[in-house]
Amino acid sequence: MKTSAQVVVIGGGVVGCSVLYHLTKLGWSDVMLVERKELTSGSTWHAAGGFHMLNGNTNMAALQGYTIRLYKELEELTGMSCGLHHVGGITLADNRDRFDMLVAERAKHRYMGLDTEIVGPEEIARIAPITSLDGIVGGLYDPLDGHLDPSGTTHAYVKAACMGGAAIETHCMVTATTQRADGTWDVVTDKGTVHAEHVVNAGGLWAREVGAMAGIYFPLHPMEHQYIVTDDIPEIYERGEEHPHVMDPAGESYLRQEGRGLCIGFYEKPCRPWAVDGTPWNFGHELLPDDFDKIEDSIAFAYKRFPVLETAGVKSVIHGPFTFAPDGNPLVGPVPGVRNYWSACGVMAGFSQGGGVGLTRAQWMIEGEADRDVTGLDVGRFGAWITPGYTLPKVIENYQNRFSIAYPNEELPAARPHRTTPMYDIFTDPGAVWGHQFGLEVPNYFAAAAEPDYEEPSFRRSNAFDATSREVAAVRGAVGINELQNFGKFSVTGSDARAWLGRIMAGRIPRPGRMALSPLLSEKGRLIGDFTVSCLSDTEFQLTVSYGAQAIHYRWFLKHLAGDVQVRNVSDARTGFQIAGPRARDLLTACTRDPVDLTFMDVRRMTVGQAACIVQRVSYTGDLGYEIYCDPMDQRALWWTLWEAGQPLSLEPFGMRAMMSLRLDKFFGAWLREYSPDYTAAETGLDRFFDWSKDFIGKTAAEAERAAPPARALVTFIVDADKADVTAYEPVFIEGEVRGFCTSGGYAHHSGLSVAHALIPRDRAVEGLVVEIEILDQRRRATLTVTPPFDADGTRMRG
């Protein structure tokens, strides 16, 4: 066995083997994989082997598309068969909401170049004749859906990796992973120790246990999953072609042909977690005992949807575990706070996603970043706050909702509330309807006494519409107050702090007492952050950014730390309130003895009521506003000071639904919507904040775009909408052809307009351009608009 390697991959399932292959594909040959038993031991060997394109996350859908296309490449490269069956597949909709979801997904597929199709009951009867059409509204057909041989595919990855120089060691159990002072690793096995620069945890069912060897908690949990293979069915084997896949979300089932019969699996509501206290090391090619009781209702439903099943005998039952993360997406990338330790686990759909996960992981390690936005699968999307007690109920919830309708405004309830601020009870009393971000409860809006205390999930304007309108009117008409906890915040101090920030940030670093907006770029010039930089002194700065990205950004800062600089994540150590509206200055004046003479983008330490605060003259609402930061221990006192002083001024609380509506009045973009690693600053207009006079990370790529502007540009449309607004990724038709897509949108209540941000060809980005945007299968007229409908000259915001 080798005693050293550049990379050691732990785990010989399909994901680990894909990672190994892609490392060699991208040029690293000194790589090895260790597997405690045989390849495919764990979840891979008993997988149903299906693959499909449908995924609510567009980047995950793209990675699934890469995975599916990769299989033929593997076969050609290795001469081995992956057992491919491209039979196509239909996802059924039995109600209007489910059909809306499929229509919205089909709209996304248009600009992604995917050849999917919305089909009606008659077409479903032709494509999948064993399906009962009782109650069926329609479906989504994808010709690329299919299935494969899990073992053959895994071994094809391995052969391709070995052709590239990789080494494989089976029956080699890892017993410890120990990091040396230089950041490299000793991977201790029962066959000896391997010294590696990088370690990749692709442990699958054992990823939690492998991570624990390095003191890392991975938020994963195995779930029991069961599928059934039937005896021969005449309606199947007498067909002239293989029957396509059918996903029936209402019945929580997926179905495909297996030989002369059928294979059907279930994501049942009375599901069961497995190995709650740890996966046994001696588990491998075993199965779990049959358990028909938990799928009894699902089977009964399947008999009605697919009547041929009722008289079919059962040939075999496959009941085995596989792992989920709390949100169902993989955990990929460098583990925050642990040098040279990488994750490639939590891939519950290994044969749909494994190739894309392997590619992403290899790009990240070798090239420094992936070629697309991987936030949705970044292991850093969960913070240090997450625990097994939180993970388990969220994983159960995710399993139960595997085939449920995914609404753009839905807030799932499991494991909530988990993290709350001192304002939780104060906001709950007047009717706060809560959302959550990064485990934190955040008010979405405040329901009136006669209104329901929950927001109904919908693809159209929801029952939060009236409450949001009231809150927007309160801000624009007088003054509103909103909590600041859900901002990520970093403290940067030290004698080299200014110089370091100048290198890290692309924008200008402000002088003491001032603020500046600054993009954060990757080496390749992609956007990885949209920051506010506040200078409290020459040696002390506060950075504010997206709360949900704090672990990802902190990982970046630590990776690039140099000189006399200290960076602390103070996201939960500084909290406070935003006040905004034409009477915001009056409110602040009533609460402090300090001068309230801050001009736009000023920052100052002030005493507000009893609390020592950092006060910033800025507001994402686009109105006159202030951000007031304090210690969490002072937050309740600060609230009562502001609230009591605000009563004569008609002060009202507002939530995130109003915030996102208010920003549309000003055409402001949002992180991971208009600004994300999928885009560059030149595409989105953030390059206007660059300080071109200095060197900064990503400048070379940015200068190339400055010399040759990118082909697309971010623009804003006013949409002729009707009770449904743009959410994200709707296609933009220019002269009848899909030429762009929406990044976000919604209803701007103050302006009374439906607004959409979109990326379109730069040469068509001219004011007055009329396009069509597809919203729920209807093309709505939209007009490109340059001037925002509220405070276009900035008089209220800057005055």
DSSP lists the bridge partners of residue 574 as: none
Q: List Cα–Cα distances, 607 to 37, 77, 591, 630, 768, in angstroms.
A: 64, 69, 9, 10, 48
Gap between the Cα atoms of 591 and 127, Å rounded: 69
303 phi, psi to nearest 5 deg:
-60, -35
142-156, 536-550, 645-659: the lowest-pLDDT one: 142-156
Answer for the pair 765, 732: CB distance below 8 angstroms, yes or no: no
CA proximity to 631, closest of 589, 584, 570:
570
Is the pLDDT at 343 greater than 90? The verdict is yes
The pLDDT assigned to 59 comes to 81
Using CA atoms, how far apart are residues 272 and 336, in angstroms rounded to an integer?
31
| For residue 56, pLDDT beyond 80 | no
Find the DSSP H helices in 598-725.
635-646, 656-665, 681-684, 699-707
| pLDDT for 436 | 95
Residue with the two structure tokens 């575990």: 321
Neighbours of 467 (CB within 10 A): 23
Going by their DSSP bridges, the two strands 712-719 and 778-784 should be labelled as antiparallel
pLDDT of residue 61: 81
Q: What is the pLDDT of residues 17-40, one digit of tens each?
A: 999 999 999 999 999 999 999 998
Residues listed for the chain: 799
Q: Is the pLDDT of residue 125 over 80?
A: yes
Predicted confidence at residue 300, as pLDDT, reads 95
The reported pLDDT for the residue numbered 765 is 98
Rounded CA gap, 192 and 380, in Å?
A: 31
pLDDT, tens digit (0-9, with 9 covering 90-100), for 679-723? 999 999 999 999 999 999 999 999 999 999 999 999 999 999 999
Residues 206-227: what's their mean pLDDT?
Answer: 97
**pTM tops 0.85:** yes
Q: How far is the C-alpha of 448 from the C-alpha of 132, rounded, in Å?
A: 44
* 347 band by pLDDT with thresholds 50, 70 and 90: very high
First-to-final CA distance of the chain: 71
Residues 6+ positions from 181 with CB-CB distance below 8 Å: none
pLDDT confidence of residue 211: 98
> 132 near 437, Cβ under 8 Å?
no
Q: Where are the beta strands (DSSP E) in 389-526?
A: 432-437, 440-446, 479-483, 487-493, 515-521
DSSP string spanning 685-708?
Answer: TGGGGB-TTS--TTHHHHHHHHHS
Examine the pLDDT at 55 and tell me if it is beyond 80.
no
Q: pLDDT tens digits, residue range 75-100? A: 999 999 999 998 999 999 999 999 99
- Report, as an integer, the average pLDDT of 293-305: 95
